[in-house]
């Protein structure tokens, strides 16, 4: 077994503490990664605090992992020692169902093995539950290890393993590009990456945020327009404008009002996950053939495509580096929207 320093939380109202975890022995198809950086995703907060229920403690979150290959199994062909690599939200799947064969491992019919808080065998992970990236090392089967291009700084690349693919996947699915008008709801950890990606794809991008406090940033990232949604005039002025709207916030929003901003055959895609159900009027949908859809992450092939696209266009996350002993503070600040735009843990401080 390999031991690694880690930061774990042991109760919903607990605090993170330094500990030691075990990783499985390197199998023929496994890659051992020395983690350099781990992003903090809002999903980490929900899980660590058991807000989505079902958390197994102790919990080591983290699914935005960037590092270097330290060792490879005897049958590994895709990676070698010293390679710059990343791990996102998944570390395994059955590899045999129709969705896995399509490169959509995130919806594996037999159940995707998520990077953390998934129950597994003791052989797969000592302790019987997956541990994430708030640690110094991780062992991952080679098919779920992604290559980070040399031009992408590892610290800026880490959040792309979740935030990047979460935005890239729907932008590709709904054909964002020249001639398309795309709105991004929210300018946080997800939204700011979405603005950069949509602009790089050639779409005309508008940010819809509660206030204009981040307007300068939004325009710098590539948005053409920026509107405050606290101003009700915004919903009158923008009615029927957009081909695609991506909602990145988890707060409860008047979705029906946002749906009316869609043009004929436009789609609003839910990315943020509020606690309560959404409410949309049937006439809002039917009148202009509008659609309400959802999206989470993409599969491994598309995640690699996203990383290559970001490298080609010079896209990285806007980050604030923290040490491991600042995780609790970072969680509180993230909940209070006090970060521009993503916290990233320096794993050397573990």
SS3 at position 288: coil
| pLDDT at position 1 | 75
| pLDDT at position 252 | 85
Tell whether the model's pLDDT for residue 26 goes beyond 80: yes
Tell whether the model's pLDDT for residue 116 goes beyond 90: yes
> What sections of 78-230 are H helices per DSSP?
98-101, 154-157, 163-173, 191-200, 215-221
Local confidence band at 273 (pLDDT 50, 70, 90 cut-offs): confident
162-294 belongs to CATH 3.40.50.150: no
What's the CA gap between 154 and 318, in Å, rounded? Answer: 12
| pLDDT at position 319 | 98
Q: What is the mean pLDDT of residues 174-199?
A: 97
The mean predicted confidence, pLDDT, of the chain is: 96
Contact 343, 42 (CB under 8 A): no
Strands 113-114 and 262-270, bridge-based pairing: unpaired
What's the CA gap between 102 and 95, in Å, rounded? Answer: 10
Specify the range with the lowest mean pLDDT, choosing from 32-36, 115-119, 169-173, 270-274: 270-274
Q: What is the mean pLDDT of residues 20-46?
A: 96
Pick the CATH number of 2-153+317-349 from 3.40.50.300, 3.20.20.210, 3.90.180.10, 3.40.50.970: 3.90.180.10
Q: Both tokens of residue 132?
A: 């994430």
| pLDDT at position 141 | 97
Tell whether the model's pLDDT for residue 206 goes beyond 80: yes
Tell whether the model's pLDDT for residue 218 goes beyond 80: yes
Direct distance between the N- and C-terminal alpha carbons of the chain, in angstroms, rounded to an integer = 19
The strands making up 204-209's β-sheet, listed across from edge to edge, are 225-228, 204-209, 181-185, 242-247, 262-270, 291-294
Could you tell me the CA-to-CA distances from 89 to 105, 161, 226, 236, 239 in Å, in that order? 11, 7, 31, 39, 36
Of the candidates 41, 24, 14, 100, the residue with the CA atom closest to the CA atom of residue 317: 41
What's the CA gap between 268 and 282, in Å, rounded? Answer: 14
Specify the range with the lowest mean pLDDT, choosing from 31-35, 251-255, 287-291, 295-299: 251-255
Tell whether the model's pLDDT for residue 278 goes beyond 90: no
Beta strands in 239-306, from DSSP E residues, in sequence order: 242-247, 262-270, 291-294
| pLDDT at position 7 | 98
Tell whether the model's pLDDT for residue 306 goes beyond 90: yes
| pLDDT at position 250 | 85
Contact 35, 145 (CB under 8 A): no
| pLDDT at position 276 | 81
Q: Report pLDDT digits (tens) over 36-76.
A: 999 999 999 999 999 999 999 999 999 999 999 999 999 99
Nearest-10 crossing angle of helices 300-313, 191-200: 70
- Could you tell me which residue, 232 or 2, shows the higher pLDDT? 232
Tell whether the model's pLDDT for residue 279 goes beyond 90: no
What's the CA gap between 49 and 10, in Å, rounded? Answer: 10
Peptide bond into 58 cis (omega under 30): yes
| pLDDT at position 251 | 83
Query: How many Cβ atoms sit within 10 Å of the Cβ of residue 10?
Result: 12
| pLDDT at position 212 | 96
Q: Both tokens of residue 259?
A: 């749906």
Domain residues of the chain, as ranges? Answer: 2-153+317-349, 162-294
Percent of the chain clearing pLDDT 90 (strictly above)? 95
What's the CA gap between 103 and 10, in Å, rounded? Answer: 35
Tell whether the model's pLDDT for residue 275 goes beyond 80: no
């Amino acid at each position: 077994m390999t031991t690694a320093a880690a930061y774990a939380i042991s109760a919903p109202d607990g605090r993170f503490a330094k500990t030691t975890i075990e990783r499985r022995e390197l199998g023929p198809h496994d890659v051992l990664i020395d983690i350099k950086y781990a992003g903090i995703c809002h999903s980490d907060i929900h899980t660590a605090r058991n807000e989505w229920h079902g958390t197994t403690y102790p919990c080591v979150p983290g699914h935005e992992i960037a590092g270097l290959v330290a060792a490879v199994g005897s049958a590994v062909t895709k990676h070698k020692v010293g390679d710059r690599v990343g791990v996102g939200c998944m570390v395994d799947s059955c590899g045999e169902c129709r969705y896995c064969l399509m490169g959509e491992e995130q919806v594996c019919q037999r159940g995707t093995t998520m990077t953390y808080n998934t129950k597994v065998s003791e052989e797969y992970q000592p302790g019987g539950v997956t541990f994430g990236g708030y640690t110094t090392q991780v062992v991952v089967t080679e098919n779920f290890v992604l290559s980070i291009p040399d031009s992408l700084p590892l610290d800026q690349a880490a959040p792309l393993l979740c935030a990047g693919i979460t935005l890239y996947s729907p932008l590709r699915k709904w054909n964002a590009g020249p001639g398309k008008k795309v709105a991004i709801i929210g300018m946080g950890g997800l939204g700011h990456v979405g603005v950069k990606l949509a602009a790089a794809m050639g779409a005309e991008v508008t940010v819809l945020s509660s206030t204009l406090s981040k307007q300068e940033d939004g325009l710098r990232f590539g948005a053409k327009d920026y509107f405050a949604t606290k101003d009700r005039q915004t919903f009158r002025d923008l009615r029927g404008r957009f081909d695609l709207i991506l909602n990145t916030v988890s707060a409860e929003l008047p979705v029906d009002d946002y749906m009316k901003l869609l043009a004929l055959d436009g789609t609003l895609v839910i990315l943020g996950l509020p606690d309560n159900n959404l409410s949309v009027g049937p006439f809002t949908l039917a009148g202009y053939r509008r659609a309400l859809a959802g999206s989470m992450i993409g599969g491994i092939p598309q995640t690699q495509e996203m990383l290559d696209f970001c490298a080609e266009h010079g896209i990285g996350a806007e980050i604030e580096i923290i040490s491991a002993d600042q995780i609790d503070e970072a969680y509180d600040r993230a909940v209070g929207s006090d970060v521009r735009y993503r916290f990233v843990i320096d794993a050397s401080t573990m």
